[in-house]
């Protein structure tokens, strides 16, 4: 098994050197966004200093360099996803826009009055609200696969919810609240047995798990660059070519056309058909650099390191009186959510911040799930490859102090 040099990894991230409220930063809000290694920062600066230009349109040297970097990044993403073709990789602003693209374009082509879209109760708002709006526009019905008291999917209910009018199953790979990993292979197989395509929200999986869209056989897979150590404002939509070919463009303008006259337009081939306007070229370059960095550190080493951190945190939390860890003891990655009896999550988060410890509190942009688990919101700690055992221990000690203070 690959081993990580955690000291060397931490030295790669300048943000980790700062202090907050006079204390060393303990950053455990990585599910919201991750910090950037120096290699990514350097690559972006180099792009702007040397090769800043539009792509695909110019014949001069800078445009050719930028175009090569942009398309090289697309190929790099395809490799990261387990062998996706470049034509199947669409650059977007993030997982949210990727899902909105499918809801708009796939919805226009394949969803009509009386049809159904199936989501789950654990979805992030980004994989819920676009489908609600599609159903409103199309006169379709949104159906929901529920979760149990732990926050895990009620898989026994799936078969009854997949019907003749189901046009798409949209679900998350990993819960952004509990960190629970969904059994995608089983879910996708059940949907495909009824010829129902599947969209997977991989925003919380891509930083932690090896992704293979070919093996999963999903029809769409989305993730955001800023959670995998790249810039904000860059994301990915993977779609099987047969679906993308059949879907109309999401937006119109320059770059997504092959030919235009005053009477109409002929659209560009995939994936440019879905990339109107000037894209986030530096973001794509940063994403390729971030994926290179992850690969150099070693995905299996990252997974093992993060799993050990979550195990240490969960064990410590379960030793404390009045702490409820959500999700039971099922397989999880990246995140862990908990509550402390007699305290409000926001109060705990603010006290921890005074100690330089960053966690997330509230409904975590997954209000239906969080309200199902605990009405007042929750506390989430989420890890990354640069976090340490000492930081987990600092959180546990800080939690003890916050609890004593808030309980008075």
- Catalytic positions: 365
Half-sphere exposure of 16 (CA within 13 A, CB side): 24
Here the tokens at position 110 are 């394949």
Whole-angstrom Cα distance, residue 28 to residue 359?
5
SS3 label, residue 337: strand
SS3 label, residue 7: helix
Asked whether the bond before 271 is cis by omega within 30 degrees of 0, the reply is yes
Whole-angstrom Cα distance, residue 126 to residue 129?
6
Half-sphere exposure of 341 (CA within 13 A, CB side): 7
CA–CA distances in Å: residue 207 to residues 197, 267, 305, 357 = 24, 34, 13, 21
Half-sphere exposure of 93 (CA within 13 A, CB side): 9
SS3 label, residue 19: strand
The rounded radius of gyration (Å) of the Cα atoms in the chain is 22
Following DSSP, what letter does each residue of 334-354 receive, concatenated?
A: SEEEEEETTS-HHHHHHHHHH
Task: Enumerate the β-bridge partners of residue 238.
Answer: 89, 221
Burial letters 237-276, b for 16+ CB under 10 A, else e: bbbbeebbeebebbeeeebbbeeeeeeeeebbebbbbbbb
């Amino acid at each position: 098994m690959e081993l990580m040099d955690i000291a060397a990894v931490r030295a790669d991230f300048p943000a980790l050197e700062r202090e907050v409220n006079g204390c060393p930063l303990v950053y455990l809000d990585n599910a919201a966004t991750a910090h950037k290694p120096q290699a990514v920062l350097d690559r972006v600066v180099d792009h702007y200093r040397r090769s800043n230009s539009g792509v695909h349109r110019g014949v001069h040297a800078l445009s050719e360099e930028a175009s090569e970097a942009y398309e090289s990044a697309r190929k790099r993403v395809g490799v990261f996803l387990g062998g996706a073709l470049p034509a199947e990789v669409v650059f977007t602003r993030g997982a949210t826009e990727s899902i909105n693209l499918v809801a708009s374009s796939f919805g226009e082509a394949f969803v009509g009055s009386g049809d159904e879209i199936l989501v789950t109760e654990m979805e992030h708002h980004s994989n819920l609200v676009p489908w609600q709006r599609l159903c409103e526009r199309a006169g379709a019905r949104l159906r929901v696969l529920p979760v149990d008291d732990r926050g895990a999917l009620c898989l026994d209910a799936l078969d009854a919810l997949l019907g003749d009018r189901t046009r798409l199953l949209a679900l998350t790979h990993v819960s952004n609240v509990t960190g629970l990993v969904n059994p995608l292979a089983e879910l996708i197989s059940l949907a495909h047995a009824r010829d129902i395509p599947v969209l997977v929200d991989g925003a919380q999986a891509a930083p932690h798990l090896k992704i293979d869209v070919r093996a999963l056989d999903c029809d769409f897979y989305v993730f955001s660059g800023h959670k995998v150590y790249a810039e904000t404002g860059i994301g990915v939509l993977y779609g099987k070519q047969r679906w993308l070919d059949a879907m109309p463009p999401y937006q119109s303008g320059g770059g997504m056309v092959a030919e235009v006259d005053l009477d109409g337009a002929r659209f560009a081939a995939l994936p440019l058909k879905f990339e109107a306007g000037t894209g986030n070229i530096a973001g794509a370059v940063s994403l390729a650099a971030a994926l290179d960095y992850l690969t150099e550190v070693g995905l299996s080493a990252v997974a093992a390191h993060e799993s050990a951190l979550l195990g240490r945190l969960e064990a410590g939390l379960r030793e404390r009186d009045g702490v409820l860890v959500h999700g039971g003891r099922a397989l999880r990655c990246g995140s862990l959510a908990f509550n402390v009896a007699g305290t409000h999550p926001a109060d705990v988060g603010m006290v921890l911040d005074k100690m330089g410890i960053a966690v997330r509190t509230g409904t975590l942009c997954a209000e239906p799930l969080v309200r199902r688990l605990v009405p007042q919101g929750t506390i989430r700690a989420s890890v990354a490859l640069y976090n340490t055992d000492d930081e987990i221990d600092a959180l546990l000690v800080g939690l003890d102090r916050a609890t004593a203070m808030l309980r008075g």
